[in-house]
C-alpha cells in the first residue's frame, strides 16, 4: 500500500513543476510535488553571495517570467512577484570608448497583459545604431518595416504552444515558406557566424550579436534553431524587455508556491525521487530514494532532465533500447557559463560615458572589441578548450549591476553585479582539481578586464567575488548535466518536434500511459525562464483529460 496518494504527482520543484502544479490544482485535483533539494525553486533562487550582507541570483537572473501566462492565471503579482523594467536595456562598450546603447522600447501593461512597442524609443535606438553604423541602422529599420514583427509573433506562438501535430499550424514552417517572412531559406542551415554576417555589415554589430549569442549558449560556429539565430535583431531595436524580479528571483518560486498552496497543493522538500512506478503500462506513482511510495491516481509529471528520467526514473520500465540509446546520445556540451557575482563599493565609471552617458545604466552591459574574425577563429574554440593558466588572450565579458534598481540586494550604498563570460567547457572536460584552479583565475580575469573599460573597477573597489564554474553547476542540480543551463544543447536537433527526441516531443513516453514530461528537456523549456514546457505540456494534458483551458476562457492569444 502507498504511503500517500494524490491525483497528480509531480517530480521536481523548480518553476516548471510549480507551474504544472498550479494548473492541475486549478482543476480541483489533489497535487503532491516532490523536490530533492532543501527548498523549492530550482534555478529560481536567491542566496547570500559573494560577501556577507549581499544577495544574488546564482542562476536565473534575466527575468522573462513576466510573459508567463501563469503570472496572470494565478495572480502572482498579488502573491509577491513584482518586476522592475530598467529603461536602458543593454549596451555594448568597445575598448576605444565608443558604445551602442539600446533603450527598452517594449512597454508592459500588467493589467492588460500586453507589451506594446514604443515607436519613439525604437527610433531612438536606430539613431544610436546610426552613430556606429548607418548601414546597419538602415538594415534594422528595413527589417522593422515588416519582418521583425512577423518573427516576434511567430516566436511567441512557438514559445507558448506544443510542437505542432499534423493539422496544427506550424508557425516556423509557414514563416520559412512566406516570401514576405524575411527569412532567407539558407538560414536554417547556416552557422550563427554566417547568419550574423548576412544580417549586419559592421564589425561592431556583428560582434555585439555574437557576444549576445555566446551568452545564450550558441557559439559562432554552431547552427542555432530557426528564429533563435535571429533574435538579437529585435533586441537591437529594443523590442525585448529584461526584467528584474524585485527582491530576488526566488520570488518567482515563492509566488508560485503560494498559488499552489492556496489551491490545496502539497509540496515535499528533501524528497529525492528514485523511480516512476509503472504497472500494466500506466504510471501509477513514484518511489522516493528512502523507499516511500506515493500513489498517483491520475497522472505523474516528471520535470527532471530527460537523461535522469530515462536512466533512473524509468530504469525498470519497458522502453525500446533504441530510444534509451538516443537519449544517452543527446549532447550537453553547450550553454555552459561562468556566471557569478562581484560585490563592490562604487559603481563602474565607464570611459564610454563620454560617447553616451547611459552606457553603464544598461541592465546588461557587454564589454569587448569588435574583432569578429578573432571571435570566430580563436575565441570560441579557445574558450571551449581552456585549462588552468591557458585562457584565450582576449575576454568578452558582461555585467548586470542590480543595485541601482533594487538596492535590497546589498548593504546601503554598496553594489552587486552578476558577471560572466560565455562558452566555457562542459564540466566533464576538466578534473575537479582543474576546475578549482580555473575558479581562482576567472575572478581576476574578469576584474582586470572590467578595469580596462571602467578604471575604478580595481581590486580596491571589490568586496567579494564568487564566480561558479560549469563544474559547480553540474554538482548543484541534476537538471544541469555537464553544467548545461538548458539541460541539453540548443540546436536544430533539439528544438520543437525534435526535443528531446521525436518520440517524446508531445510530452509523453510511448507505451507508458499517464506519464507526462515537462522539464527543460522538452519544447519549450530549454530557453531559461522564457521556457514554458509545463504550460505547453499542460495544454496537451488538458486536451487529453478535458481540463480547463484558461487561454480560451480569457480569449488570450497564447
Ligand atoms: C548558471 C545558470 C544561469 C541561468 N540564467 C538564466 C537567466 O538569466 N534567465 C533565465 O530565464 N534562465 C536562466 N537559467 C535557466 C533557467 O533557470 C532554467 O531554464 C529554468 O529554471 C528551468 O526550470 P525547471 O523547473 O525546468 O528546472 P530547475 O529550475 O532546474 O528545477 C528542476 C528541479 O527538479 C529537481 N529535481 C531534479 N531531479 C529530481 C529528483 N530525482 N527528485 C526530486 N527533484 C528533482 C531539482 O532539484 C530542481 O529543483 C540559468 C540557468 C543556469 C544554470
User: What distance in angstroms lies between residue 443's CA and the mean position of ligand 1's atoms?
Assistant: 24
341: in domain: no
Q: What is the CATH number of the domain that holds 266?
A: 3.50.50.60
Give yes or no for residue 305 CB within 6 A of ligand 1. Answer: no
In a domain, 112, yes or no: no
Edge-to-edge strands, sheet with 415-422:
99-103, 88-93, 364-367, 397-401, 415-422, 337-344, 462-466
pLDDT at 341 (0 to 100): 98
Q: What is the pTM of this model?
A: 0.97
Domain span including residue 536: 4-45+247-329+490-553
Residue 308 confidence (pLDDT): 98
What is the H or E stretch that residue 6 is in?
strand 4-11
For residue 371, is it within any domain? no
Asked if the structure places residue 287 within a domain, the reply is yes
Taking CA atoms only, the protein residue closest to ligand 1 atom 16 is 528
Give a yes or no: residue 179 inside a domain. no
CA distance readout (Å), 526 to 225, 389, 428, 521? 12, 32, 21, 6
Does 129 map to a domain? no
Phi-psi group of 113: left, alpha or beta (phi > 0 → left; psi -120 to 50 → alpha; rest → beta):
left
CB 472 near ligand 1, within 6 Å? no
Q: For residue 444, is it within any domain?
A: no
DSSP-assigned beta bridge partners for residue 109: 114
pLDDT of residue 380: 92
Half-sphere CA count of 551, side-chain side, radius 13 A: 14
Ligand 1 contact, 340 CB (< 6 A): no
The residues of the chain scoring below 50 in pLDDT are none
- What span, in angstroms and rounded, lies between the C-alpha atoms of 216 and 238? 18
Q: Could you please report the per-residue DSSP string of 12-65? A: --BHHHHHHHHHHHTTT--EEEEESSSSSBTTS--EE-SSTT-EE-SS--SB-G
Kindly state the DSSP code that residue 67 receives in the 8-state scheme.
G
Residue 452 half-sphere exposure toward CB, CA atoms < 13 A: 17
* Rounded distance between C-alpha atoms, residue 255 and residue 263, angstroms: 13
pLDDT of residue 155: 87
How far does residue 304's CA lie from ligand 1's centre (Å)?
9
What was the pLDDT predicted at 149?
A: 84
**Assigned domain for 157 exists:** no
Which among 38, 40, 41, 43 is the best mutation to test ligand 1's pocket, defined by most ligand atoms within 8 Å of the CB? 43
Q: Nearest C-alpha to atom 20 of ligand 1 is from which residue?
A: 528
Give the number of domains in the chain: 1
User: Taking Cα atoms as reference points, which of 541, 539, 546 lies closest to residue 160?
Assistant: 539
Amino acid at each position: 500500500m502507498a504511503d500517500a496518494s494524490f491525483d497528480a504527482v509531480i517530480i521536481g520543484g523548480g518553476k516548471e513543476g510549480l507551474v504544472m502544479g498550479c494548473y492541475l490544482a486549478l482543476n480541483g485535483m489533489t497535487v503532491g510535488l516532490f523536490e530533492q533539494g532543501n527548498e523549492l525553486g530550482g534555478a529560481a533562487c536567491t542566496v547570500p553571495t559573494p560577501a556577507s550582507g549581499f544577495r544574488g541570483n546564482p542562476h536565473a537572473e534575466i527575468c522573462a517570467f513576466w510573459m508567463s501566462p501563469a503570472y496572470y492565471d494565478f495572480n502572482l503579482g498579488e502573491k509577491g512577484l513584482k518586476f522592475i523594467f530598467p529603461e536602458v536595456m543593454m549596451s555594448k562598450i568597445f575598448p576605444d570608448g565608443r558604445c551602442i546603447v539600446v533603450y527598452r522600447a517594449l512597454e508592459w501593461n500588467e493589467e492588460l497583459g500586453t507589451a506594446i512597442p514604443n515607436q519613439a524609443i525604437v527610433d531612438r535606438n536606430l539613431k544610436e545604431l546610426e552613430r556606429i553604423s548607418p548601414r546597419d541602422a538602415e538594415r534594422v529599420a528595413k527589417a522593422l518595416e515588416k519582418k521583425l514583427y512577423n518573427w516576434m509573433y511567430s516566436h511567441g506562438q512557438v514559445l507558448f504552444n506544443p510542437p505542432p501535430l499534423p493539422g496544427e499550424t506550424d508557425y516556423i514552417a509557414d514563416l520559412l515558406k512566406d516570401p514576405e517572412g524575411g527569412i532567407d531559406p539558407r538560414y536554417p542551415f547556416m552557422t550563427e557566424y554566417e547568419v550574423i554576417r548576412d544580417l549586419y555589415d559592421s564589425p561592431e554589430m556583428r560582434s555585439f550579436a555574437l557576444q549576445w549569442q555566446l551568452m545564450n549558449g550558441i557559439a559562432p560556429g554552431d547552427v542555432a534553431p530557426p528564429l533563435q539565430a535571429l533574435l538579437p535583431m529585435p533586441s537591437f531595436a529594443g523590442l525585448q524587455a529584461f526584467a528584474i524580479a524585485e527582491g530576488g528571483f526566488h520570488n518567482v518560486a515563492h509566488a508560485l508556491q503560494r498559488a499552489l498552496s492556496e489551491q490545496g497543493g502539497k509540496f515535499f522538500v528533501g524528497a529525492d525521487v528514485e523511480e516512476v512506478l509503472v504497472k500494466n503500462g500506466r504510471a501509477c506513482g513514484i518511489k522516493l530514494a528512502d523507499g516511500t511510495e506515493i500513489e498517483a491516481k491520475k497522472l505523474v509529471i516528471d520535470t527532471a532532465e530527460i537523461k535522469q528520467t530515462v536512466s533512473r526514473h524509468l530504469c525498470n520500465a519497458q522502453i525500446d533500447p533504441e530510444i534509451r540509446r538516443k537519449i544517452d546520445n543527446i549532447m550537453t556540451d553547450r550553454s555552459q557559463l561562468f556566471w557569478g557575482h562581484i560585490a563592490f563599493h562604487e559603481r563602474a565609471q565607464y570611459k564610454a560615458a563620454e560617447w553616451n552617458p547611459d552606457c553603464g545604466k544598461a541592465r546588461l552591459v557587454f564589454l569587448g572589441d569588435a574583432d569578429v574574425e578573432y571571435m570566430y577563429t580563436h575565441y570560441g574554440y579557445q574558450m571551449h578548450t581552456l585549462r588552468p593558466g591557458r585562457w584565450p588572450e582576449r575576454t568578452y565579458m558582461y555585467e548586470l549591476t542590480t543595485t541601482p534598481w533594487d538596492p535590497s540586494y546589498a548593504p546601503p550604498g554598496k553594489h552587486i553585479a552578476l558577471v560572466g563570460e560565455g562558452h566555457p567547457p562542459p564540466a566533464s572536460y576538466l578534473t575537479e582539481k582543474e576546475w578549482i584552479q580555473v575558479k581562482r583565475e576567472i575572478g581576476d580575469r574578469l576584474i582586470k578586464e572590467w578595469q580596462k573599460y571602467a578604471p575604478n573597477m580595481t581590486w580596491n573597489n571589490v568586496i567579494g567575488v564568487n564566480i561558479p564554474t560549469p563544474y559547480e553547476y553540474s554538482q548543484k542540480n541534476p537538471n544541469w548535466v555537464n553544467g548545461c543551463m538548458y539541460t541539453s544543447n540548443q540546436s536544430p536537433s533539439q528544438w520543437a518536434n525534435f526535443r528531446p527526441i521525436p518520440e517524446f516531443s508531445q510530452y509523453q513516453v510511448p507505451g507508458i500511459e499517464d506519464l507526462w514530461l515537462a522539464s527543460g528537456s522538452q519544447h519549450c523549456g530549454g530557453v531559461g525562464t522564457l521556457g514554458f514546457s509545463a504550460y505547453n505540456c499542460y495544454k496537451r494534458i488538458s486536451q487529453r483529460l478535458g481540463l480547463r483551458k484558461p487561454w480560451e476562457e480569457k480569449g488570450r492569444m497564447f
